[in-house]
C-alpha cells in the first residue's frame, strides 16, 4: 500500500481555519451519494498491461469495501471505463502525440470498448443490475461531450461523490477537481486510490485536502456510509 503522508503544516492550517475540524463533510445522505470507481480496468491492473499501475492491485480490497458499504446504505456505485475516443482520435491528438506512435497505438487498442484491457479487473466487486458502468473518453469524467456521468448524477439527485481508483494523480484527481467545481461535495479515499509512486499519490492527497475534497481512508468512508441518514 502507499505510505500516506499528509503535509502536517497543511493539516494544521486547515484545521485552524475550519474551527478545529479538518473535514468539511461530516455526514452523507445515501440517496444523494455516489461512489465513483475510476478506471479499475485490466489495462491498468494486469501485470504487463499497457498502463500497469502495480499499486492499483493492492487497493482492490479497499475499493470493494467502499462499494459494498455504498450498496448496503442505498448509495450508488458508478464504475468508469477509460475509453479510446474511437473515430475521434484527432480530437485528442495532443495526448496521443506525447508518446511514440507504437505506444499510442497499443494504448488505443487496449482501451477500445469491449477490448480485454477495457474490461473491469476481475477482482473488482461489480454488482450486475445494481451498479452502473460509464465510458469516459478523457482523464476527467466531466469534460462536456466525452462522458455522460454528470447527466446521470444530476438525474439521480446526487450531490456527494466518493472517489476511488487509478491513477490518483491523473484520472482520479482530474475527476475530483472537476466535480468540486460543478458543486459536488467530494470525498477522496486516501487508501483506495493508486499512483505509480508514493510521492505522486501524496502530492494529490495534499492538493485534494487543500481545496477540492475531504481526504479520508476507506474505513472512515465505510463508517460514514454505515452511519448515513437521509437529509430533508
What is the number of structural domains in the chain? 1
pLDDT at 153: 98
Let me know if residue 18 belongs to a domain: no
pLDDT classification of 111: cutoffs 50, 70, 90: very high
What CATH number does the domain containing 159 carry? 3.40.50.850
pLDDT at 19: 94
| pTM for this entry | 0.95
Share of the chain above pLDDT 70, in %: 97
Nearest-angstrom CA–CA distance, 98 and 107: 12
- The helix or strand, by DSSP H or E, that contains position 189, with its residue range, turns out to be strand 185-194
pLDDT classification of 208: cutoffs 50, 70, 90: very high
Let me know if residue 33 belongs to a domain: yes
Residue with cell 475527476: 175
Let me know if residue 219 belongs to a domain: yes
Let me know if residue 101 belongs to a domain: no
Q: What Cα–Cα distance (Å) separates residue 114 from each residue in 29, 84, 118, 119, 148?
A: 34, 11, 6, 7, 18
Asked if pLDDT for residue 189 goes beyond 90, the answer is yes
Let me know if residue 179 belongs to a domain: yes
3 state DSSP class of 33? strand
pLDDT, tens only, 52-99: 999 999 999 999 999 999 999 999 999 999 999 876 677 788 887 777
3 state DSSP class of 109? helix
Asked if pLDDT for residue 230 goes beyond 70, the answer is no
Give the contacts of 230 (CB within 8 A, at least 6 positions apart): 29, 30, 31
Let me know if residue 11 belongs to a domain: no
Let me know if residue 146 belongs to a domain: yes
pLDDT, tens only, 125-140: 999 999 999 999 999 9
Domain containing residue 36: 27-83+119-226
pLDDT at 13: 97
Let me know if residue 64 belongs to a domain: yes
Asked if pLDDT for residue 148 goes beyond 60, the answer is yes
Q: How far is CA 152 from the centre of its chain?
A: 16
Amino acid at each position: 500500500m502507499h505510505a500516506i503522508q499528509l503535509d502536517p503544516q497543511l493539516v494544521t492550517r486547515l484545521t485552524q481555519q475550519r474551527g478545529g475540524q479538518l473535514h468539511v463533510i461530516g455526514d452523507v445522505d445515501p440517496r444523494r451519494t455516489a461512489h465513483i470507481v475510476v478506471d479499475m480496468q485490466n489495462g491498468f491492473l494486469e501485470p504487463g498491461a499497457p498502463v500497469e499501475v502495480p499499486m492499483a492491485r493492492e487497493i482492490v480490497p479497499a475499493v470493494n469495501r467502499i462499494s459494498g458499504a455504498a450498496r448496503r446504505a442505498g448509495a450508488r456505485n458508478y464504475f468508469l471505463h477509460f475509453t479510446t475516443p474511437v473515430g475521434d482520435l484527432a480530437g485528442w491528438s495532443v495526448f496521443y502525440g506525447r508518446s511514440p506512435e507504437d505506444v499510442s497505438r497499443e494504448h488505443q487498442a487496449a482501451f477500445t470498448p469491449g477490448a480485454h484491457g477495457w474490461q473491469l479487473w476481475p477482482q473488482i466487486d461489480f454488482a450486475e443490475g445494481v451498479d452502473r458502468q460509464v465510458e469516459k473518453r478523457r482523464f476527467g469524467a466531466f469534460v462536456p461531450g466525452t462522458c455522460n456521468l454528470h447527466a446521470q448524477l444530476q438525474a439521480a439527485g446526487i450531490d456527494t461523490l466518493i472517489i476511488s481508483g487509478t491513477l490518483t494523480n491523473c484520472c482520479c484527481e482530474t475527476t475530483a477537481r472537476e466535480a468540486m467545481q460543478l458543486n459536488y461535495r467530494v470525498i477522496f479515499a486516501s487508501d483506495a486510490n493508486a499512483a505509480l509512486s508514493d510521492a505522486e499519490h501524496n502530492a494529490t492527497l495534499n492538493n485534494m485536502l487543500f481545496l477540492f475534497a475531504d481526504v479520508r481512508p476507506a474505513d472512515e468512508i465505510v463508517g460514514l456510509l454505515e452511519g448515513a441518514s437521509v437529509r430533508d
